[in-house]
Amino acid sequence: MKRNILLTILIAGASAAVYAQGQGGIRSDVVKTGEKPTIAVPDLRGSGDAQKLMGVFNSTLFNDLQGSGQLKMIPKTLYPVQVPQQPSDFRQGGPSFADWSGPPPNANYLAFGYTAAQNNQIVLYGWLFDVRQTNPSSAQLIGKIYLGSLDEAGSRKVAQEFAADILKQFGATSLIGTRIYFVSDRSGQKEIWSMNYDGSDQKQFTNYRSITTFPAVSPDGTKIAFTTYPILASSRNANAAQFGKQAQNLGQPQIYVHSLESGRKLVYYNQQASMNAASDFLPDSRHLLIYSTANAGFSQIYETDLDGGELHRITHSGSLEVEPKVNPKTGQDLVFVSGRGGTPQIYRMSIDGTDVSRLTTGEGDAVNPAWSPDGQHIAFSWTRGFEPGNFNIFVMDVASRDVVQLTHGAGRNENPGWAPDGVHVVFSSKRGRTTQIYTMLADGSQVQPLTTQGNNEKPVWSKSTQ
């Protein structure tokens, strides 16, 4: 049984090998997109007490729009000297649309406005204009007032709301309100933590003081499942006592489910097995995909109700089957990791366990699959070679099997997950002595670190506002 657990952790955590350069089948783009709208976003000014908050406001607004990956941001060095604060500024002798639509900025759109302090609140007057038009009435796309507390948090809030409205104009999805759940050891043990899409507001969610790992969040954003090694007993041995450390006896890994609305632990019945591990929720948020040694052999894939009942076995193989993830669009097909070919590879099958096919080539180790929101792509970790080395993040078009490599020569990159916008990918990477969480666009650009304290891994991105 111990061998089963170790092998499962080896595959789920990804074993070592190296990406072989120069092998075929790798494309340089993920999804071809049309021309991005070009937008100028000059720094806004504030009156009175609002002015001291404009540094936070302006950086938040610009970074949120730039980080969306949906717009082409005009560098501020190309902006005209005269910057409008309100539509009435576009008058004879003042700034003109041509100043912004013509060279050197050559912008299609202009975001502008100003802030003021009123009744202990920051008030943002924000506009978005199509500067290719001839007059303010035809150019205005957004003209709105935003309110926030008169502090940095309120300044950041109104900037994010303005950015979200701008993105909505172009059919893009804002990440405001989404959360990333991840595993961190910064408290001394591995626990589940959460943070905002930009790395802010990092806080601990679980406190089991054990090993708590592999979070999975329900599609409706109300529940989280994870795997915990329960503490059976605590004792001190001579060496531990000498160094002031406590040795803990841990039980077999079990599945726990919590409400994200209340934080309360929900009832979940674990099978009598050496290992039970949560992996994914079905689209209805009422069923779980797990992998377990309930069959008394290698771990297999099962479906259960939200309370662990109605156990239904999906795979029946003589090898390890782990990490099942359901297609969020169809709910009828899975990707998973199997060792049936000798090395861990990614396979696809129907929800009933039929129509099994291998997606990866059989080279190296391929693990950690994650479906994109469109149900057409998966991100995964792959060594694509047999020599000792590091994992990189790849994206596959499942229908064509075309593969794109997103990370290159920068540490050990694992556990990718998709943002609700389908444009961003979150992943963990060991670049130096610690493992941290990063985001990037799904073409591998705009890599941004989100964590710095302790070791952080296994991120999942939830659309939840909890």
Q: What is the pLDDT of residues 306-363, one digit of tens each?
A: 999 999 999 999 999 999 999 999 999 999 999 999 999 999 999 999 999 999 999 9
The verdict on whether omega for the bond into residue 104 sits within 30 degrees of 0, i.e. cis, is yes
Helix axes 152-169, 54-67, angle to 10 degrees: 30
Task: Name which of 299, 295, 275 is nearest 213 in CA terms.
Answer: 275
Contact 227, 276 (CB under 8 A): yes
Three-state SS at 132: coil
**2-20+178-462 — its CATH code?**
2.120.10.30
CA distances in angstroms from 416 to 19, 430, 459, listed in the order given:
17, 13, 7
Q: Where are the domains of the chain?
A: 2-20+178-462, 38-169
Q: Which two tokens stand for residue 390?
A: 């590091």
38-169 classified as CATH 1.10.8.50: no
Residue whose tokens read 């591998």: 444
Contact 328, 349 (CB under 8 A): no
Helix (H) or strand (E) run with residue 158 in it: helix 152-169
Query: How far is the first Cα of the chain from the last one, in angstroms, to the nearest whole number?
Result: 38
**Any alpha helices (H) in 192-325, and if so which ranges?**
238-242
Identify the bridge partners of residue 15 per DSSP, sorted by sequence position.
none
Identify the bridge partners of residue 440 per DSSP, sorted by sequence position.
425
pLDDT tens digits for range 399-452: 999 999 999 988 999 999 999 999 999 999 999 999 999 999 999 999 999 999
pLDDT of residue 333: 96
- pTM (2 decimals)? 0.86
pLDDT tens digits for range 291-309: 999 988 999 999 999 999 9
Contact 32, 402 (CB under 8 A): no
d(C-alpha 341, C-alpha 436), whole Å: 31
pLDDT of residue 450: 98
d(C-alpha 294, C-alpha 350), whole Å: 21
Contact 156, 60 (CB under 8 A): yes
Distance of CA 88 to the CA centre of its chain: 42
Q: Vertex 1, ends 187 and 4: CA angle to 5°?
A: 75
pLDDT of residue 91: 80
Is the pLDDT score of 376 beyond 90?
yes
d(C-alpha 324, C-alpha 194), whole Å: 23
Identify the bridge partners of residue 257 per DSSP, sorted by sequence position.
225, 266
Residue 38: pLDDT band (50, 70, 90) is very high
Is the pLDDT score of 180 beyond 80?
yes
DSSP state of 267: P
Is the pLDDT score of 463 beyond 90?
no
Q: What's the length of the chain? A: 466
- 145 burial class (0-12, 13-18, 19+ CB within 10 angstroms)? exposed
pLDDT of residue 240: 43
Residue 387: pLDDT band (50, 70, 90) is low
